[in-house]
Amino acid sequence: MKRMINTVLDRLQLGASARNGLNYLKYISSPKLLRRNARFRRNGAPDGLPVQTPGQAYLICGQYDLEAMYYNGRKGAEWIIDLLEKNGLDMDGFNDILDFGCGCGRVLRFWKNLTHTRVYGTDYNPSLIKWCENNLPFARVSVNGACSRTDYSDNFFDLVYAISVFTHLSMEMQSFWLDELIRITKPGGYIILTVHGVSRTSALSEEQLKQFRNGELVVRGEKYFGTNICGAYHPRHYLERLAGPPCSTQRFPSPSVSSPLIMGLRGSGSKPSGFSSDAIAFALRIFRSISISSSVLAAGW
């Protein structure tokens, strides 16, 4: 019944408005969450930086809990650091890093203490970038188009990461943005992506599950790309085709219990433990041209 209602609303072009309105009513009808947000804003974030608004939290995380968004972002930053360290890399050893789809700085804010690295962020939402400009002065942020090249030069970044971005892109955007991230990443640089893998497929219909098991990308709510209403689900074989050969398998710790798919650095000697049982892990090495070769890491978020 719920799926049928959502289908009808989508056909009437009311799907996003209805979902957003319902979620907002739930929020303002929850005294406990309202008090929790008020307390967190009053006490301030542990890192001493300004706290985002509940509305920004909803745009980024699909829920209004400010404290939850803060610790979710910190967990993301810690996971990136851990993944790099397990492969002999130091976050502060890079010259230039990019948070692609940085939003209102959920993860970006945790790089304020980097001493050597220049931190960049980009997002297609101007209001979120404006918040970052006003509140995260250590970061160099800019607005990007929904499906157009960024202003960064070729081979610019040592590290690019995209947390919960490719999970909300339309089919045509997947290949376009991976090509663009490869373009702006230095040869030998690194790209970290998060994706929806097998443990996140419970929301899919039988037909969509069949597509997923056949190695096809599945996108729900595609016309709402860039929002949490749009959900993209990435089978391993699709990612292999998208990034290109060769690839090798390796496991990495998941950033959350339900993390479905993790791709890591090729050639790492580390064999960490503690990953979730369904965390299918593998690594890709990109060889799109002689001038571009970047390691791609991805994980379910």
Cα→Cα distances 203→14, 92, 200, 286, Å: 20, 38, 7, 31
pLDDT confidence of residue 178: 87
- Taking the CB of residue 273, how many other CB atoms lie within 10 A of it? 6
pLDDT confidence of residue 159: 93
pLDDT confidence of residue 83: 85
- The first and second tokens of residue 241, run together, are 């085709």
Looking at residue 265, its amino acid is L
pTM score of the predicted model: 0.80
pLDDT confidence of residue 84: 87
pLDDT confidence of residue 151: 95
Looking at residue 243, its amino acid is A
CB distance 265 to 295 below 8 Å: yes
**CA–CA separation, 278 and 273 (whole Å):** 13
Using DSSP's 3-state secondary structure scheme, residue 293 falls into coil
Mark the ranges of the chain whose per-residue pLDDT is less than 50: 12, 245-294, 298-301
Which letter, b or e, does each residue of 46-62 get, where b requires 16 or more Cβ atoms within 10 Å of its Cβ?
eeebbbbebebbbbbbe
pLDDT confidence of residue 97: 98
pLDDT confidence of residue 193: 85
pLDDT confidence of residue 227: 81
**CA–CA separation, 282 and 236 (whole Å):** 8
Domains and CATH numbers, the chain: 71-299 (3.40.50.150)
pLDDT confidence of residue 288: 29
